[in-house]
Amino acid sequence: MRRISIVAILGGLAIVGSVIGARAALATPPSGVGAPFTVRATLDRYHFDSDDFKIFQKDREDVVMRELTIAAGGDSGWHTHPGPALVIITQGTGSLYEGDDPMCMAQTFGPGQGFVEQPGMVHILRNEGATQLVLFVTFLNVPIGNGFRSDAPRPGNCSF
């Protein structure tokens, strides 16, 4: 029987901890973000099909709705979602940057405008204005009881 020393075990744990810590350090958490409300429900499978719109959920999944506020100068941090996120801006102006855009150019949205964040797309929403940004987001295809957002590292094509 081969013996493993406590020093080797502790050394291995230290390496694993360093790797996990380094990954966490690469993440870009939100700044200046508030969430006045979040609601969540589990939906059974469904299918809706019209001439203009189709949606199909194969399995039971959660849907999450949130109101978010982003202070002037704040941002959502770079992140992704497991399913599509439908975003509606009600106040202020949001600048959306997508991680796969080689030029890292903003798409700007104001009150009454919206956009869809695609599943797995690394992105950040910044409030580059002088007033508070308020938005409502509906997250679809969220695994039951799990997260609707995953922090992501800053992509190399953007300097912020």
Summarize the confidence of residues 137-159 as an average pLDDT: 96
Q: Where are the alpha helices (DSSP H) in 5-67?
A: 6-26
Distance CA 5, CA 1 (A): 13
Can you give the pLDDT at residue 6?
53
Residue 115, SS3 per DSSP:
strand
Residue 8 φ/ψ, nearest 5 degrees: -65, -40
pLDDT digits (tens, 9 = 90+) for 25-75: 588 999 999 999 999 999 999 999 999 989 999 999 999 999 999 999 999
pLDDT digits (tens, 9 = 90+) for 71-115: 999 999 999 999 999 999 999 999 999 999 999 999 999 999 999
Asked if 84 contacts 149 with a C-beta cutoff of 8 angstroms, the reply is no
Give yes or no for residue 21 having a pLDDT over 60.
Answer: no
CATH number of the domain residue 97 falls in: 2.60.120.10
In a domain, 159, yes or no: no
In a domain, 46, yes or no: yes
Per-residue confidence band for 20, with pLDDT thresholds at 50, 70 and 90: very low
Can you give the pLDDT at residue 106?
98
Residue 61: strand pairing partners = 43
In a domain, 21, yes or no: no
Summarize the confidence of residues 142-160 as an average pLDDT: 95
In a domain, 20, yes or no: no
Cα separation values, 41 from 27, 37, 67, 92, 141, Å: 28, 14, 16, 29, 11
Can you give the pLDDT at residue 18?
39
In a domain, 2, yes or no: no
Can you give the pLDDT at residue 12?
44
In a domain, 143, yes or no: yes
Which residues form the domain of 133?
Answer: 30-151
Total domains in the chain come to 1
Question: Would you mind telling me the total number of residues written for the chain in this entry?
Answer: 160
Cα separation values, 24 from 27, 50, 65, 117, Å: 5, 43, 26, 23
Give yes or no for residue 118 having a pLDDT over 90.
Answer: yes
- DSSP at 118: P
What mean pLDDT value characterizes the chain?
Answer: 89
Amino acid occupying residue 55: I
In a domain, 7, yes or no: no
In a domain, 17, yes or no: no
Asked if 95 contacts 141 with a C-beta cutoff of 8 angstroms, the reply is no
Structure tokens that stand for 20 in this block: 């996990």
Cα separation values, 139 from 41, 56, 81, 83, 147, Å: 11, 14, 8, 7, 10
